[in-house]
Amino acid sequence: MSEYDMVEVKIPINEISAINGNLTTPQGANAVVVFAHGSGSGRFSPRNQYVAKVFNQAGIATLLIDLLTPEEEEIDVVTTEYRFNIELLAQRLVTATQWLKQDLKTSAMTFGFFGASTGAAAALIGAAKLPDIVKAVVSRGGRPDLAGNFLEQVESPTLFLVGGLDEVVLDLNRQAMAQMSAETRLVVVEGATHLFEEQGKLEEVAKLSSDWFVRHL
């Protein structure tokens, strides 16, 4: 077996449909981070794949999943009706986490959520619904405001990473944090825009996120 064991998984969401994911488990991992992608994105997002690789190098397992079924994705490309359905995405995240809790490989691990953009709201709602399971959350350029009343129910320590040039989102993050009683931390990544595409900025995000999960998981 290689240093990392990577498998493609199918997670049933009802009797006929499933969502697809890539589960990567470093040898000796005792924590797993489930990714919630932003609108219109999925498990093949280069940014999230890069971040996941940094987590794997730190000994953390990762599950990159498509929160929509292939059929829903086809519809969403035309109508965009699913990508902003935060409640649906959050429920998929919960389903995937419960599936991991049943899987022999990951059942004993501690769990964290990494949410990007609108996926951050889904991650926070998921954490609110699974307070005994989800031990830490990271929001990357997130829209936590879309989690609404669930914010005050979140118990997981949450790190908010926002680009210094992403002023509207920075404001929304500060407002969301004010509604939370859980441990929170805001890190403004200077010189970064919403997607952290500037040189070295995504690396900074990955390192900060990895440190947060290592500390809390």
* Residue 50 CB neighbours (<10 A): 13
Q: How many structural domains are present in the chain? A: 1
Q: What's the pLDDT tens digit per position in 147-173? A: 999 999 999 999 999 999 999 999 999
Q: What's the pLDDT tens digit per position in 204-217? A: 999 999 999 999 99
CA distance 57 to 172: 32
What is the structure's pLDDT at 1? 39
What is the structure's pLDDT at 178? 97
Q: Is the dihedral of CA 194, 131, 214, 62 positive or negative?
A: negative
The yes-or-no verdict on residue 203 having pLDDT over 60 is yes
What is the structure's pLDDT at 76? 87
Pairing mode of beta strands 18-26, 61-65: antiparallel
CATH number for the domain that contains residue 117: 3.40.50.1820
According to DSSP, the residues that pair with 159 across neighbouring strands are: 138, 185
According to DSSP, the residues that pair with 18 across neighbouring strands are: 12
Q: What's the pLDDT tens digit per position in 4-54? A: 899 999 999 999 999 999 999 999 999 999 999 877 678 888 899 999 999
pTM: 0.96
Q: What's the pLDDT tens digit per position in 86-145? A: 999 999 999 999 999 999 999 999 999 999 999 999 999 999 999 999 999 999 999 999
Structural domain containing residue 63: 4-216
Q: Give 183's contacts (C-beta < 8 A, 6+ positions apart).
A: 157, 158
